[in-house]
Amino acid sequence: MPTAYTPPLADIRFILHRLIGWDKIAAMPAHAAVDAGTADAVLDEAGKIAAEQFAPLNDVGDKHGVKFDNGNITMPPGFRDAYRAFVEGGWNTLPVEPEYGGQGLPWLLAMPVQEMLQGANIGLALATLLNQGAIELLCAHGDDRIKKIFLPNLVSGAWAGTMNLTEPQAGSDVGAVRARAVKDGDCYSITGQKIFISYGDHDLTDNILHLVLARLPDAPEGTRGLSLFLVPKILVNEDGTLGAPNDVRAVSVEHKMGQHASPTCIMAYGDGGKGAAGYLVGQENGGIAAMFTMMNNARIGVGIQGLGLMERAYQQARDYARTRVQSRAIDAPKEPPVAIINHPDVRRMLMTMRALTEAGRALAYSCALAVDTAKYGSDGSKSQAALRVDILTPIVKGWLTDMANDVTSTGVQVFGGMGYIEETGAAQVMRDARILAIYEGTNGIQANDLVFRKIARDNGAAINSLFAEIDAFLHETSGMAALSTMRGQLASSLRDAKTATGWIAQNARTNPAAAAAVAAYFLRLCGNVLGGFYLTKSAHLAHEDLAASGGDADFLNAKIATAGFYAAHILPHSAALAAIIQTGAASVLVPPGTA
Amino acid sequence: MPTAYTPPLADIRFILHRLIGWDKIAAMPAHAAVDAGTADAVLDEAGKIAAEQFAPLNDVGDKHGVKFDNGNITMPPGFRDAYRAFVEGGWNTLPVEPEYGGQGLPWLLAMPVQEMLQGANIGLALATLLNQGAIELLCAHGDDRIKKIFLPNLVSGAWAGTMNLTEPQAGSDVGAVRARAVKDGDCYSITGQKIFISYGDHDLTDNILHLVLARLPDAPEGTRGLSLFLVPKILVNEDGTLGAPNDVRAVSVEHKMGQHASPTCIMAYGDGGKGAAGYLVGQENGGIAAMFTMMNNARIGVGIQGLGLMERAYQQARDYARTRVQSRAIDAPKEPPVAIINHPDVRRMLMTMRALTEAGRALAYSCALAVDTAKYGSDGSKSQAALRVDILTPIVKGWLTDMANDVTSTGVQVFGGMGYIEETGAAQVMRDARILAIYEGTNGIQANDLVFRKIARDNGAAINSLFAEIDAFLHETSGMAALSTMRGQLASSLRDAKTATGWIAQNARTNPAAAAAVAAYFLRLCGNVLGGFYLTKSAHLAHEDLAASGGDADFLNAKIATAGFYAAHILPHSAALAAIIQTGAASVLVPPGTA
């Protein structure tokens, strides 16, 4: 029973045009040609490929899974055709700079497109996210030879990309990588084993370009001794044509809780005896820096996977609740049974799902604007925007994927017993979502990144600039009676967030173990308050539009209702989080022997 | 890679002997022979069967699942042997009254035994829980003929029992049942279809006794027109020997997210043409009342399933975190990498899992004492105890299973990428747990039961009697400096709970839709505060024992640390929940069109 996917175009448009303002994009010289109408047309088309090509295969991918046979992986039925449609539609090239054959469209467009693809079929869409990361890496760090040989087919999507960091002893601790590289003519010879490699092998494309972290002889220990190599599955001649197979293969594929359609491989480099031929990307021992240029965007991408699955889970649960009739209404016990969406507890669950999804969307796309501004904005705006990307990245990744776990599990609950039966699809979304808080840096790593890299380095200045925006908004709207309850709650939560930020900034320096013990709560608090800000601001804009009779009144009223729900049900947790942050560390840091 | 299960005997004993006091059981005439030593011996033996017979098959059951072939279900390899060991050890008879062939042991012993079996292998142990429910029903409502023919084999475990309530249109709304029964000689003829029937067919036993809700001709509408029938899979002669197959069969088995070893069936009654022969249990049209005598205990049993899985998830995550070495310690960056249990964020997750598990255990077994007291206590104590069982049942079921979802998901997070790979077992525990908040009355139903049946009927008197116990404890321990932080947090949370209870009691009468909208939060708040009470009290007792040099100092110090963690990290959410309860309803009850 494959479930339909409806692209959430109305909310995406509201965020892009009203909450953020597309004029901010159009004002960038690089995007002068991308007017709001063009953006809408792109979103429409992306919604079609998501709903028509990707979504119908979501269920197929889960049930069928991937087939592994002697190093070769066969994707589930239909996946090659859907991927081909994606490539032929030019979607792989969307945000790539025109000098490399891309369309050069803003991330504020590329990320909503990603949301829809991920929500429709995360197992397949993960491949497109990996391509995007590989393209970014080679554009930023590849030399001319690499760009000439590999980029055209990678940008088009004719070839796919992967990220090879993890080894059994080197997960969160990437500096422990042991794979080795030795110079061999104008290439390098790579040997070693990598695990958890998404799309390590598949049959979607004629070639796969693996980006592999390895260690040169006499390299320094830790991350400073890592170099990055491009290792093609099939060797490529200087003219870009395919040659012989390289000495790299998938050894096995993992049996995972979810994302059955995405092949997660153990990869062997050089076990054929001669080593896999690899091209150095960037400088020797400069691999981790190169990886990090890509990783920020990839982390935002994983947050957007969470967003896509929240939306999918919400749609499924809402549609089920609208049609499933069970029990009489609490305030009409003599009337016939009603659809369960009328039962208050079911409505509470649906509103929770919706509120978190819409808050997450507004947060993620605000981050996308910062990505575009950091890259294409005015000289005066770039560095501030880059700091904002830095501070928002772990929050988008960590908060949206934590919430995706909650929201997709709530989706199962709305379905009741049917949610536990695989045929309804509710369980699949929950299983598919469960990796998001883990891969591309666990949410514990995100929380540490937020506290020790992002907050500690500027003593909270970047996050405080966001808080100042909230203050300004509260000030501007101080006379708005319709917003007063939401504003009151937002102001209270903002005070909690500021207090907690002060505590975190202080302790990150003076007592790092204590700051680490409560870092996860701090990340959640930031997401909670920022989500509340963007929704309250959305409600304000919706009131304006209603007053001006502009826009769809049903949509605008729903937006106001959702923001009101968030303020009453989600924001109040801020106070508890702030309290725990300030008092909770000691009881974590008891000696390990007692746990 | 099957994971080991270690019976949590130290904590169970601490709760039974110190927190609750076994003397309360020994003082009941029915249990005068069951001294503390006997209880410990039973727990030891139960721990052995759980760890040695049930646990090694947990992984097998998940991977192998059940096989359905033409109405017959074959259980996974080894399950028949493990079940036979369970029966031969007399475990099925543990809490059954001696007059029916049982051992008549208290629920305060039977429920810890259940926790261990469920934690070891919930797929198999569910069968034992269903047996228990069927036995209770027949003991309480079966006539002499039924008891004579069916009880001996059901009590021994030679035959198994099932509960057949749900139909496609009748899930939470059990009154919508359409299965029909017509009198036929001294039996009844049953026709209809039932869904989601756990253990609807299997090969563990020679016969299966289905307890089926159906509707007699001209029965009133709704629950008042339901009658309960015993429908054996194989007809049984008056002397208890097996006869011909009855007209009942499993039509199909569900493909579920978890609990792959427990066969969830669609059952057809009477589709062979002549109707399935059934025996009336209790009175005509008295089926729902009969079912409810069983359902309370079954709901506590599901809460205990949640407890068992929390313990299992905690053990797995803790053991992994003790051995998995990754990254240097935050306060020793020059030293070699350490086991991840030393990283503050991992410790925070483990402590959260442990604190919720131990709080849930104390709450569940306090409820078990009330069950025993209501049945075997002094005349003066019975009715109060029954009220306490009533108020605690939805909290044990709802809170422990909500927490089981959280705790088992956190377990996956501790494992990182390995948690998403099925071979480690972390994902299985999470998948197995996900049904607990749904079956035996969804947690939404539990919240409604708590608010509209239990709080509304006595205006909160039963819950306030519990709150009075907390007040008394706070008063008694007011001079204890070592407890002052915990006591302060508990007192604050108790005030929140009292305020929320007042609001709920009022609105359950005057504005039921509003009370229903926030009922789930109220259930969580009650669990949160009661869990905090039992842990704080445990810490107090641990301090006493340490001062008296009694008991295992490591265990006692860990108990104090766990209670301190709970007070600092879990209890503070009470204030947020109380605030949301009092202000959140309006934003749920917006017109459905806008969601």
Q: Which residues in chain A are closer than 8 Å to B592, comparing Cβ atoms?
A: 341-342, 347
CB proximity A85 to B under 8 Å? no
Active-site choice (B221, B440, B469, B544)? B440
Burial label for A186, CB within 10 Å (0-12, 13-18, 19+), is exposed
Closest partner residue to B255 (CB to CB) among A172, A423, A554 is A423
Q: Residue B344 has what pLDDT?
A: 98
Distance of CA B294 to the CA centre of its chain: 13
Q: Which residues in chain A are closer than 8 Å to B443, comparing Cβ atoms?
A: 413
Q: Which residue of A has its CA nearest to B493?
A: A576
pLDDT digits (tens, 9 = 90+) for A405-441: 999 999 999 999 999 999 999 999 999 999 999 999 9
Instruction: Indicate the DSSP class of residue B204.
Output: S
* Residue A459 domain boundaries: 442-587
Q: Which residues in chain A are closer than 8 Å to B420, comparing Cβ atoms?
A: 256-258, 434-435, 438
Instruction: State mean pLDDT over A149-158.
Output: 98
Q: Residue A242 has what pLDDT?
A: 98
Query: Between the CA of residue B272 and those of B69, B266, B568, what are the distances in Å?
Result: 17, 15, 61
Q: Contact, A405 vs A434, CB < 8 A?
A: yes
pLDDT digits (tens, 9 = 90+) for A271-309: 999 899 999 999 999 999 998 888 888 999 999 999 999
- Contact assignment for B413 to A438 by CB distance below 8 Å: yes
CB proximity A519 to B under 8 Å? yes
Contacts 24+ apart (CB under 8 A), A511-515: A511/A585, A512/A452, A512/B330, A512/B331, A513/A585, A513/A589, A513/B330, A513/B331, A513/B344, A514/A585, A514/A586, A514/A589, A514/B344, A515/A451, A515/A452, A515/A585
List chain B pLDDT tens, one digit each, 595 residues: 557 999 999 999 999 999 999 999 999 999 999 999 999 999 999 999 999 999 999 999 999 999 999 999 999 999 999 999 999 999 999 999 999 999 999 999 999 999 999 999 999 999 999 999 999 999 999 999 999 999 999 999 999 999 999 999 999 999 999 999 999 999 999 999 999 999 999 999 999 999 999 999 999 999 999 999 999 999 999 999 999 999 999 999 999 999 999 999 999 999 999 899 999 999 999 999 998 888 888 999 999 999 999 999 999 999 999 999 999 999 999 999 999 999 999 999 999 999 999 999 999 999 999 999 999 999 999 999 999 999 999 999 999 999 999 999 999 999 999 999 999 999 999 999 999 999 999 999 999 999 999 999 999 999 999 999 999 999 999 999 999 999 999 999 999 999 999 999 999 999 999 999 999 999 999 999 999 999 999 999 999 999 999 889 999 999 999 999 999 999 999 999 999 999 999 999 987 555 4
| CA-based nearest residue to A97, from A313, A375, A400, A293 | A375
Q: Which residues in chain A are closer than 8 Å to B412, comparing Cβ atoms?
A: 257, 434, 438
Closest partner residue to A512 (CB to CB) among B258, B330, B586 is B330
Q: What are the E-state strand segments in B173-225?
A: 180-184, 187-198, 207-215
Contacts 24+ apart (CB under 8 A), B76-84: B76/B123, B76/B261, B79/B124, B79/B204, B79/B261, B80/B203, B80/B204, B81/B53, B82/B53, B82/B54, B82/B57, B82/B121, B82/B124, B83/B124, B83/B127, B83/B157, B83/B204, B83/B205
- Contact assignment for A443 to B413 by CB distance below 8 Å: yes
A-facing residues of B in 387-416 (CB < 8 A) are 405, 409, 412-413, 416
CB proximity B260 to A under 8 Å? no
Q: Which residue of A has its CA nearest to B329?
A: A513
Q: Which residue of A has its CA nearest to B327?
A: A173
Residue B367 and residue A260: Cα distance in Å, rounded? 42
| CA-based nearest residue to B314, from B282, B341, B281, B284 | B341
Could you identify the residue written with the tokens 């806008």? B594
Tell me whether residue B54 is in a domain: no
Q: How far is A339 from chain B (nearest CA, A)?
A: 10
> What tokens does B296 get?
């309370």
Q: Which residues in chain B are closer than 8 Å to A409, comparing Cβ atoms?
A: 405, 409, 434
Query: What's the residue count for chain B?
Result: 595
| Averaged pLDDT score across all residues of chain A | 96
Tell me whether residue B251 is in a domain: no
Secondary structure of B51-108 in HEC code, one letter for each residue: HHHHHHHHHHHHHHCCEEECCEEECCCCHHHHHHHHHHCCHHHCCCCHHHCCCCCCHH
Number of alpha carbons in the 13 Å side-chain half-sphere of residue B90: 11
Residue B40 and residue B113: Cα distance in Å, rounded? 11
Burial label for B273, CB within 10 Å (0-12, 13-18, 19+), is exposed
Tell me whether residue B369 is in a domain: no
pTM greater than the 0.90 cutoff: yes
Q: Which residues in chain A are closer than 8 Å to B508, comparing Cβ atoms?
A: none
Q: Which residues in chain A are closer than 8 Å to B257, comparing Cβ atoms?
A: 412, 420-422, 427, 430-431
CB proximity A423 to B under 8 Å? yes
Q: Which residue of A has its CA nearest to B326?
A: A173
Q: Which residue of A has its CA nearest to B317?
A: A595
CB proximity B332 to A under 8 Å? no
- Contact assignment for B256 to A326 by CB distance below 8 Å: no
Q: Residue A442 has what pLDDT?
A: 97
* Cα–Cα–Cα angle for B313, B404, B129, rounded to 5 degrees: 95
Q: Residue A297 has what pLDDT?
A: 87
CB proximity B189 to A under 8 Å? no
Closest partner residue to A519 (CB to CB) among B345, B518, B567 is B345
CB proximity B350 to A under 8 Å? yes
Q: Which residues in chain B are closer than 8 Å to A592, comparing Cβ atoms?
A: 341-342, 347
Torsion (CA) B513, B515, B518, B521 in degrees, nearest 10: -150
- Contact assignment for A331 to B565 by CB distance below 8 Å: no
Q: Which residues in chain A are closer than 8 Å to B484, comparing Cβ atoms?
A: none
Tell me whether residue B384 is in a domain: no
| CA-based nearest residue to A568, from B569, B402, B577, B505 | B577
Judge if ipTM > 0.90: yes
Nearest-10 crossing angle of helices B344-376, B107-120? 140
Q: How far is B157 from chain A (nearest CA, A)?
A: 28
Q: How far is B458 from chain A (nearest CA, A)?
A: 20
| CA-based nearest residue to A584, from B558, B349, B565, B493 | B565
| CA-based nearest residue to B460, from B489, B493, B499 | B499
Tell me whether residue A318 is in a domain: no
Reduce the DSSP state of residue B381 to 3 states and report it.
helix
Amino acid identity, position B159: W
CB proximity A569 to B under 8 Å? yes
- Contact assignment for A569 to B587 by CB distance below 8 Å: yes
B-facing residues of A in 292-331 (CB < 8 A) are 318, 325-328, 330-331
Q: How does residue A587 score in pLDDT terms, banded at 50, 70 and 90?
A: very high
A-facing residues of B in 28-67 (CB < 8 A) are none
Tell me whether residue A579 is in a domain: yes
Residue A310 and residue A407: Cα distance in Å, rounded? 6
The number of distinct structural domains making up chain B is 1
Tell me whether residue B157 is in a domain: no
Residue A515 and residue A527: Cα distance in Å, rounded? 17
Could you identify the residue written with the tokens 């469209």? A105
Distance of CA A506 to the CA centre of its chain: 30
Amino acid identity, position B287: G
By DSSP bridging, strand B159-164 and strand B207-215 are: parallel
Burial label for B63, CB within 10 Å (0-12, 13-18, 19+), is middle
Burial label for A19, CB within 10 Å (0-12, 13-18, 19+), is buried
**DSSP result, A13-73:** HIIIIIII-THHHHTSGGGTT--HHHHHHHHHHHHHIIIIIIGGGHHHHHHH--EEETTEE
Residue B215 and residue B190: Cα distance in Å, rounded? 9
Closest partner residue to B173 (CB to CB) among A326, A438, A444 is A326
Q: Which residues in chain A are closer than 8 Å to B346, comparing Cβ atoms?
A: 444
Q: How far is B126 from chain A (nearest CA, A)?
A: 16
A-facing residues of B in 429-468 (CB < 8 A) are 430-431, 434-435, 437-439, 442-444, 447-448
Query: Between the CA of residue B6 and those of B10, B116, B120, what are the distances in Å?
Result: 11, 9, 9
Q: Which residue of B has its CA nearest to A253?
A: B421
Residue A128 and residue B538: Cα distance in Å, rounded? 53
- Contact assignment for B434 to A443 by CB distance below 8 Å: no
> What tokens does B201 get?
């067919």
Residue A413: count other Cβ atoms within 10 Å of its Cβ: 25
CB proximity B347 to A under 8 Å? yes
Closest partner residue to B520 (CB to CB) among A341, A345, A419 is A345
Q: Contact, A75 vs A66, CB < 8 A?
A: yes
> What tokens does B530 get?
């009661």
- Number of A/B CB contacts below 8 angstroms equals 255
Q: How far is A354 from chain B (nearest CA, A)?
A: 8
CB proximity B176 to A under 8 Å? yes
Catalytic residues of A: 440
Q: Residue A2 has what pLDDT?
A: 58
Annotation marks residue B284 as catalytic? no
Q: Which residue of B has its CA nearest to A195?
A: B417
Q: Which residue of B has its CA nearest to A554?
A: B594
pLDDT digits (tens, 9 = 90+) for A484-493: 999 999 999 9
Reduce the DSSP state of residue B269 to 3 states and report it.
strand
